[in-house]
Structure formats: structure tokens, C-alpha cells
Amino acid sequence: MPREFSRSDRMAEQLRRELAEIIHDEIKDPRVSFLSFTEVRMSRDLSHAVVYCSVLDAQQLHESIEILNRAAGFIRKSIGRRIRARIVPTLKFVADESIIRGAAMDDLISEAIASDRKPDDDTDSESD
């Protein structure tokens, strides 16, 4: 039987899609150009939304989040014009560092695998 999605899940997904379009079409700041919204978490009453963002350039992540939080009123107004909802949620943008942490973990794993494959010179000289 298909899983039913809650209203907050459906609203969060619609909000994520609308945010992507608004950032692409209406916000002309080049510092938020390579931005993606990884997740939106809505409150049960749909009045608040926490938006997790990721940026291609890790050095620009926190600056982009500050820009988005300053423009949250403008973005909220744009969302209100685009969707049919009784309540347009207040927005809080948060840095999603899971991609950065995942890349760091991947580097550590690759480094460990490379060190395991490297022949150990100490053991070869002791056996002679």
C-alpha cells in the first residue's frame, strides 16, 4: 500500500521547488548562484520552515546563508504570490554541511584504502 505523505511533507517539497525557482529567476546576487536546497523542514502548523542549503563553493556557504536570511522577507512574499496557501511560512536558512562532511569522510576512506594497499617496506627488510 502506498505511503501517505503528511501535509507538511507535501508543503515542504513544494516550498523547496518554489525556492529553487525564485533564487534562479528573481535573486540576481552572484554570491548565491550555485545554491541548492537539500531539505525543507516544516512545523506541524506550517507557519515555520527551516531550509537547508548547500553551495558548490564551500567558502561561500556562510555568506550565501546570510544573504538568504536577509532576503527572507522578499522570498516569503514571492512564495505567497506563487502558491495557494492560507499561511506562508517564515523562512530560516541554514547551512547543510553534510555534503562537506561526506566529502571529507570519502577522502579519509580513500586515504585509508591507499595506505592499506601500499607495500610495507619495514616488514620486507625484517624478513631478510
CB 102 within 8 A of CB 60: no
What Cα–Cα distance (Å) separates residue 89 from each residue in 5, 11, 26, 44, 65? 19, 10, 19, 11, 18
| Three-class HEC string of 1-51 | CCCCCCHHHHHHHHHHHHHHHHHHHCCCCHHHCCEEEEEEEECCCCCEEEE
Note the pLDDT of residue 103: 80
Looking at every residue in the chain, the average pLDDT score rounds to 83
pTM of the model: 0.74
Read off the pLDDT of residues 68-113 as tens digits, 9 standing for 90 and up: 999 899 999 999 998 888 888 999 999 887 777 788 888 889 888 8
Domain ranges in the chain are: 7-119
Q: Which helix (H) or strand (E) holds 32?
A: none
* Average pLDDT score over residue span 30-47: 86
Q: What is the CATH number of domain 7-119?
A: 3.30.300.20
Note the pLDDT of residue 29: 78
State the Cα–Cα distance between residues 116 and 102, nearest whole angstrom.
21
15 in helix, strand or coil? helix
